Chains A and B, each alone.
Chain A
Amino acid sequence: QKEVEQNSGPLSVPEGAIASLNCTYSDRGSQSFFWYRQYSGKSPELIMFIYSNGDKEDGRFTAQLNKASQYVSLLIRDSQPSDSATYLCAVNVWGSNYKLTFGKGTLLTVNP
């Protein structure tokens, strides 16, 4: 069973702080990794994806991948109340016919 694990939260941070969201995965054949943001009652939207070990930055967001330790994380700098949402980690395993395996998500609350 290919699994993706996330802390369900809620993770609460003050406005302006760094929010750190973590995800671990069980299948070493995992090749690509995605972070989605989902506001309550809405569908998930893609924030970032990462394929290679290391960091990838996009504005206030940084994705970090460590394949040896099988974890991927998302850092949100200068957190804003509008960042309050559920963040879903998703993993693509090679040979999985383009399917993504999702974690259950971490609820982030940014307090003004």
Chain B
Amino acid sequence: DVKVTQSSRYLVKRTGEKVFLECVQDMDHENMFWYRQDPGLGLRLIYFSYDVKMKEKGDIPEGYSVSREKKERFSLILESASTNQTSMYLCASRGRPEGGGYTFGSGTRLTVV
């Protein structure tokens, strides 16, 4: 079964820390995405990548960066964590050609204290 794996299910970090969220997919998908999901705001796209070392900003990139050194791995970095970054973070991947939607990881619930 195809899988998108996020390294942590729950994470608690302190304000100002640098936080790394890891996502690995085993489907050889070119496209990978990071979203955050907050009550009442829905899914908001932070960054996405359509190829190794390629990245594009989504709708809310401020305070975040990403890294994609290998096709299967897409990392989200919170440069200096703040309490307003407390959220559910979801990684997703999608292949080419178009043949279905995203496959999501199980999510990381991040709390910044």
- Inter-subunit contact B104/A98 (CB<8 Å): no
Asked if B20 is at the interface (CB within 8 A of a chain A CB), the reply is: no
In Å, the complex CA distance between A94 and B102 comes to 16
Interface 9-mer from B11-19, B61-69, B74-82, B92-100:
B92-100
Contact across chains for B103 and A46 when beta carbons are under 8 A apart:
yes
* Measured CA separation A45–B2 after assembly (Å): 13
For the side of the interface on B, what is the size category?
Answer: 20 to 34
Chain A residues with a Cβ closer than 8 Å to the other chain, count = 21
Question: Is A99 touching B101 in the complex (CB atoms < 8 A)?
Answer: no
Pairwise interchain contact B94-A98, C-beta atoms closer than 8 A? yes
Pull 16 A–B residue pairs with CB atoms less than 8 Å apart, ordered by A: A36-B101, A42-B106, A45-B104, A46-B101, A46-B103, A90-B101, A92-B98, A97-B48, A97-B50, A98-B96, A98-B98, A99-B33, A100-B102, A102-B43, A104-B40, A104-B42
Chain B positions within 8 Å of A, measured between CB atoms, are: 31, 33, 40-43, 45, 48, 50, 56, 58, 90, 94, 96, 98, 100-107
